[in-house]
Amino acid sequence: MRLSTKLWLLVVSSFFLSLFLFIVFSLLTGKQFDNGYSLNSLNKFIHTAIEQMKDEQAFAKDQAQPILDNLHRQHPQLRLEWISSEGIPIYDTSGQTTPYSFKELTDRFVPLPTNLWTEGEIVTLAASADKDGQSYYLLVSLPSEAMKSGQIYFFIRSYQTLLTLTIPLLVAFLTPFFLSLWFFYSMNRRLRKLNFALNQVNLRGEEIELHDNSKDEISQLNTHYNEMTQRIRKQVAQIEQFESKRKMLLFNLSHDLRTPLTMILGYAETIRVEHYKDKRELQVSARNILQHSRYMERLLNQILDISKQDVDAQKIQFTNEDVCEIIRKIIADYLLIIDEKNLVLEFNIPKAEVFIEMNTSLIERAVRNILDNAIRYGSEGKYLGLQIIEEEKTVLIAIMDKGKGVSQEDREHVFNRFYRSSGRQGEGLGIGLSIVKDIVEAHQGSVEMSSIPQVETAFRIRLPKQRTNVDEP
């Protein structure tokens, strides 16, 4: 069953049920808590008494007294008076025999209807009977406390008057009914929109965004839906990006390993079948095998670096170390390579100690990766520069070369994992600079690059002397 159908059934059934319960409980509570006489019950009582007087022709005192006394015993709160048209009491259950004047009789009826709901008043009602042209009157009196405390009466003489009563009542009853329908219809419409949007969720299709300015629970559901779809799309985009990088990694790895592996197999086959002229050519083949094997080892080590870095990201140990001394040791390791490449080395390192909070092995790896890049891709500029500048709260490490540089398009992506610039395809896996970036950020530092081809390509690492707001591992 649809929600709108259930809504209609609920509203209609609740309307009639509430009306039924109102009537039932009004009658029950009226009988239980609102005891006393009503105008309707008094009119019935008087009408019954008059009819009995007429039937028994009890117009004289002898005939009227037994009837009135019997009625008085049944209703002790009522005072019954049988009087003539001249105001002379024929019989009074209270024992009064003094004739009434016209003023006395009218004064008993003047307070009506105010005395019906005023305490301490006497309520008097009358009915008449005729015999032989003579009028007789039955007066019924009772204290106002003996009346019901609440009475509602409607007196209608024409259908027009009935309309003036029913139309406002219908408006009063139907207004909350239609307001409820409008409210539930509005909620149902918003829920249908949400249901439609959920059914249309398609990661490849157009995104549906729900706009709801209300502050209720449905608005919160719409907000959660928008946030959920955005998160899902972002996660799918990340998954697709990771999958693309995975495929790129496999492609680059297979491509970069195929060439040295082919060379190794070729030189190994040459040695196996002894197709070399002399011992010197044998040494050349062995050296080539060793060189290509080390290249393959370096590629595999880079892959292991990524895995180890992802696993041990929360296990880095930091100590205060002299960064100048560490850089001097690293430069010393590269002096032979710098001489082989005929590079001009220019370095500016403070003589004083410069301590920073760092992980020595990680910082060494980051600096070596940048130096490897500078030597491998910038050696044609015949220049290698290294500089350390101590600032107030940070230390700047700059590594420069004057090689072919990096294009503007590639600069935005050089620190992305598995990215290789257009001029360096087939060389490495494109993860060296991404490792540098991860290491520097783990030290709460930053790394940036600037490049003017054949003029200067510089990598600048800025590290804080002391890390802040870091939980101890």
pLDDT at site 472: 46
**Residue in this structure with the two tokens 């500029």, named with its chain if needed:** 381
User: Cis ω on the peptide bond leading into residue 113 (within 30° of 0)?
Assistant: yes
Tens of each residue's pLDDT in the chain, 473 residues: 566 677 677 777 877 788 788 788 777 776 666 678 888 888 999 999 999 998 898 889 899 999 999 999 999 999 999 999 888 999 999 988 889 888 988 888 888 888 777 788 898 999 999 988 889 999 999 998 888 776 666 666 777 777 777 788 788 877 877 887 787 778 788 778 878 777 777 766 677 777 777 777 778 888 887 888 888 888 888 888 778 767 766 666 665 667 678 778 888 888 888 877 788 888 888 888 887 787 777 767 766 665 555 545 446 788 999 999 999 998 888 887 888 889 999 989 998 999 999 988 888 888 988 888 888 888 888 999 999 999 999 999 999 999 888 877 777 767 776 666 655 444 555 667 888 888 898 899 999 988 888 889 999 999 999 988 655 44
**Residue in this structure with the two tokens 């005192």, named with its chain if needed:** 61
- The phi, psi pair for 316, rounded to 5°, reads -75, 135
Specify which residues 345 forms β-bridges with.
384
pLDDT at site 425: 46
The arrangement of strands across the sheet holding 134-143 comes to 89-92, 79-84, 134-143, 122-131
- The phi, psi pair for 340, rounded to 5°, reads -60, -35
**Residue in this structure with the two tokens 């002299």, named with its chain if needed:** 322
Architecture of domain 318-464: 2-Layer Sandwich (3.30)
Give me the CATH topology for the region 217-306.
Answer: Helix Hairpins (1.10.287)
Where does CATH 3.30.565.10 sit in the chain? 318-464
Q: DSSP 3-state assignment of 226?
A: helix
Tell me the CATH number for domain 36-146: 3.30.450
pLDDT at site 17: 84
Residue 82's nearest CA partner among 65, 70, 66, 102 is: 65
The H or E element spanning position 105 is helix 102-109
pLDDT at site 459: 92
Where does CATH 1.10.287.130 sit in the chain? 217-306
The arrangement of strands across the sheet holding 344-348 comes to 344-348, 383-390, 394-401, 456-464, 446-452
Residue 398's nearest CA partner among 355, 444, 447, 453 is: 447
Where does CATH 3.30.450 sit in the chain? 36-146
Contact 406, 449 (CB under 8 A): yes
pLDDT at site 259: 61
Angle, CA of 116, 120 and 122, to the nearest 5°: 55
Q: Report residue 307 as tokens.
A: 């895995």
Residue-wise DSSP of 33-61: H--SB-HHHHHHHHHHHHHHHHHTT--SH
Contact 142, 123 (CB under 8 A): yes
Residue 354's nearest CA partner among 363, 362, 345 is: 363
